[in-house]
Amino acid sequence: MPIREPAGEPPPGRACGRCGASRSSFTAVRSVFVYEAAARDAVHALKFRGLSAIAPPMAVLMAERLVDWSPPVDSIVPVPLAGSRRRQRGYNQSELLAKELSRLTAVPLAPRALIRPRSASPQYRLSDRDERRRNVSGVFKSGKRVPQGGVLLVDDVITTGATLDACARVLVDAGATRVFALTFARED
């Protein structure tokens, strides 16, 4: 999969420009690629075209990023999808990535640590950071067997961080000591 450039990271000690003054509930986030070109095509194929078979090769690239990064995690948690979207799509793309990542790294998967009892507007339709935060506020709840150690939260794309922050907040409130996030792509 020829992708031109890796996702950039904010300089050490500085907050991401998307986060602004607000403090995130997750400790750190890393992405494999910038959300453009082939990375965008891969995400769209997985998310909107029903090509679930692309998840394992995407997860291999995520596993390589995880090995380079090495955050102290005891479990992997996918960002949950609302039931209506899961039924429409036939799967949760983040769960497919997390499941394969768990298999590749031998870090246990906690697929029901987070639940999404209600739907919200799709985040990709919202461009404003505050609008995205409001959209996911209160959408996620802790599920069964919430991991108590370090958690790796997995999603396909990070744009403003609102979804990951909302999920991380629930995990921390339920007892996770630290939440790290890993995505396939990052909006730049």
* Residue range of the domain that includes 78: 28-186
Tens of pLDDT, residues 53-108: 999 999 999 999 999 999 999 999 999 998 888 888 999 999 999 999 999 999 99
Residue 28 has a CB neighbour count (10 Å cut-off) of 15
Report the C-alpha gap between 159 and 138 in whole angstroms.
19
Instruction: Give the model confidence (pLDDT) of 96-148 as tens digits.
Output: 999 999 999 999 999 999 998 766 555 555 465 666 566 666 778 999 888 88
What is the residue type of 137?
S
Nearest 10 degrees: CA dihedral of 113, 118, 123, 125? Answer: 160
Residue 2 in domain: no
* Residue 135 maps to a domain: yes
36 Cα distance to chain centroid: 17
In a domain, 12, yes or no: no
Domain assignment present for 20: no
Closest CA to 63 of 5, 4, 106, 7: 106
CATH code where residue 50 lies: 3.40.50
d(CA 184, CA 97): 9
- Number of domains making up the chain: 1
Q: Is residue 15 part of a domain?
A: no
* Residue 149 and residue 125 in contact, taking contact as beta carbons nearer than 8 Å: no
